Amino acid sequence: MAILPLIIAPDPRLKKKSLPVEQITDDIRELSRHLFDTMYYEKGIGLAAVQVGVHQRILVADVTWRDEDGTPGTQYVIINPEIVENSTELNAYKEGCLSLPEQYADVTRPSSVRVRYIDLNGAQQEETFEGLLATCIQHEIDHLNGIIFVDHASPVKRDMILRKLTKLKKQGYFDAHDHTNCGHDHSHDHHDHEHVHGENCNH
């Protein structure tokens, strides 16, 4: 189990566009496992590699894991995703992000998307995602393009959130989140908040 340190916004690394994965190597397989470890530990439902400083087009998602016992739900590893179709119907979710801890904003996106991607076996997949999973995957694909969810909010809300995070960073508020190579199993030992899927979900 490896918990990778998360990049907290504002940070120029989160604005950088990620590059396509050229080959599914052991490194990529290992990275996807670390992304899941980090995502579950931080109680998120999605995580893009860029959030741990790896600028490759890979994201993981699981919107159905169980908080009570940490049982994984349906896991997706999505590599080099491309949205090939958007629904005209829209959906608004109060989104959060592991790179913007404890910050939330309503974001409106297509309620379903058809995504072409490469899976961990190197096979091309095409799948339609709906509901929370559709929101989550669009949020993560944004990350691969250097976009964070507050970029979809009003400039006032966006600036307010980023200013707040800058201040908290200066105060060292997020320093405890760095668990690089400490080797300990931190599952469920420092989170006191209840996690409810679909409400204030972190990606």
Residues with a catalytic annotation lie at 140
Strand 201-202 with 90-97, pairing: parallel
Indicate whether 97 belongs to the interface with Zn ion (CB under 5 A).
yes
Query: In 3D, which of 96, 106, 99, 203 has the Cα closest to residue 154?
Result: 106
- What minimum distance in Å lies between the beta carbon of 36 and Zn ion? 15
Indicate whether 152 belongs to the interface with Zn ion (CB under 5 A).
no
One character per residue 32-61, x = contact with Zn ion (rule: CB under 5 A): ------------------------------
Distance CA 194, CA 62 (A): 17
- What minimum distance in Å lies between the beta carbon of 137 and Zn ion? 11
- What minimum distance in Å lies between the beta carbon of 165 and Zn ion? 13
Indicate whether 179 belongs to the interface with Zn ion (CB under 5 A).
no
Report the residue number, 99 or 112, with the smaller CB distance to Zn ion: 99
Q: How far is CA 141 from the centre of its chain?
A: 9
Query: In 3D, which of 31, 28, 57 has the Cα closest to residue 121?
Result: 28
Distance CA 185, CA 105 (A): 31
- Contact footprint for Zn ion (CB under 5 A): 97, 203
